[in-house]
Amino acid sequence: MSAPLLEVTGLTRRFGGLVAVDSISLSLQAGEIMGLLGPNGSGKSTAIRMMLGFMRPTAGHVRIGGFDCWSDSVEARKRVAYLPGELRLYDTMTGRRLIKFLSELRGDEPGAEVEEPEDHKPDTDEAGGPRG
How would you write the pLDDT of the chain (132 residues) with one tens digit per residue?
688 999 999 999 999 999 999 999 999 998 898 888 999 989 999 999 999 888 999 999 999 999 999 899 888 888 887 777 766 667 777 777 877 887 787 777 665 455 555 555 555 555 555 554
Domain ranges of the chain: 6-82, 84-123
6-82 maps to which CATH number?
3.40.50.300
Within 13 Å of residue 28, how many CA atoms lie on the same side as its CB?
14
**What is the rounded CA–CA span in Å between residue 22 and residue 37?**
15
Listed in sequence order, the residues at least 6 apart from 32 whose beta carbon sits closer than 8 Å to its beta carbon are none
Q: What is the DSSP string of 43-75?
A: SHHHHHHHHTTSS--SEEEEEETTEETTTTHHH
